[in-house]
Amino acid sequence: MQYEVEYDDPDLRRPKRRGRKTAQVILIVLAVLLIFLAGAAGGVGGVLLFSADNGALAKKLGVNGDLAIPTTKTEKLVVEESNGIIDAVNKVSPSVVSITTQTTVQGILGAYQTESAGSGFIITSDGLILTNKHVVADATAQYTVVTLDGKTYSATVQSQDPTMDLAVLKIDARNLPVVDLGDSDQLQVGQWVVAVGNALGQFQNTVTSGVISAKDRQIQASDSAGSSSETLSNLLQTDAAINPGNSGGPLVNLAGQVVGINTAVASDAQGIGFAIPINQAKSAIDSIKKTGKIVRPYLGVRYIEITPDIAKSSSLSVDHGALIEPGSGLTDFAVVPGSPADKAGLQANDIVLQVNGTDIDVNHSLIQLLQNFQVGDQITLKVLSKGSQKDVKVTLEQAK
């Protein structure tokens, strides 16, 4: 049998001849295509191309009558979203509160009220709330706590941490949802975290997410006016957006556990925020639960942590330790008068190198090492003073 093939090009006028086998192949291909189209349209799971009923067709095409052509089965795929961030937020949000501050200011035209806001989270079911000290620093202000369900409570400042930017509020309530505390020592750089808080003082329980960008950061934190400067060490750095009003709110892992307390943001950067590791706050939490206030041992010095870069730029003879920094004002002392450090003879520009044999470095800050002791403990400091090293014994006292 001969087959003619037409061409669009008028110069190609000679038809080509094709043999019987070529024709059979063409018919098979056409048959298979038709069957696939039928299977797709009808949702058929598998098709038998040739059987006893169409053996004549198979014989005519010169193929085995038992040939079966399998087809694929089409199923509807349903994707169920189970996101760790959503689970973490659902777990922690009921325990996150907004804190508003009303302050009466005396102006030229008379008294008027100002208002600011922050965040916190519930640590006991009877109304203890952990937040930043700078959120509730004004002793004359009135504080109000708003829970996730919209209930409003008058709050009092129960205690403030003398060595860290932490404070505890108390509200009159019962059966409150309490956060689950995680282990900040186990955090890894790159690990996902979520920040929850009262962003800008207007958007309650705003959720932002990011990663742990770095650990053991030291910053010089101050308020928006550039006053109330405070050195904070061993902080977690995160790129989860932290806005004004987020201060005091929780930083949580994907298990919904609090691993940090959001406390500061680099105002001249994008996505650089800082949080106090929750492990540094656990002793304060234990103390407030047992005694009703935060009891911390303190040394009584103003200092900066020495890094290799600081050592190089300042031409220091050591690349680690805590440099007792000279004060900048009449009340800004390098060594607090009457403090344990003062009684032990420490002076400005001394460098504390060790606490009980442990080096002060990027992994062990002075304040972190002091938290391992109790009020009344005697510790031994290795101090570099005027070019010579010496051991100094200090009896820790309760910070006032």
Check if 134 is active-site. Answer: yes
Phi and psi, residue 37, nearest 5°: -65, -40
Catalytic residue among 119, 184, 247, 339: 247
Catalytic residue among 134, 161, 213, 365: 134
Question: Rounded to an integer, what distance in angstroms lies between the CA atom of residue 253 and that of residue 70?
Answer: 49
* CA dihedral (190, 195, 201, 202) positive or negative: positive
Residue 58: other Cβ atoms inside 10 A: 18
Is the Cβ–Cβ distance between 113 and 136 less than 8 Å?
no
CA dist., res. 362 & res. 322, Å (int): 10
In this structure, is the dihedral angle defined by the CA atoms of residues 304, 309, 312 and 318, taken in order, positive or negative?
A: positive
Catalytic entry in 93, 119, 161, 165:
165
Helical ranges in the chain per DSSP H: 20-42, 55-61, 84-92, 278-291, 308-313, 340-343, 366-370
Tell me the backbone φ, ψ of residue 89, rounded to 5 degrees. -65, -45
Catalytic residue list contains 165: yes
Angle (nearest 5°) at CA 361 between 359 and 363: 105
> Rg (Cα) of the chain, in Å, rounded?
36
Of 106, 234, 212, nearest to 165 (Cα)? 234
* Inter-CA distances, 391 with 243, 346, 355, 356, 386, Å: 44, 11, 10, 10, 14
- Catalytic positions, please? 134, 165, 247
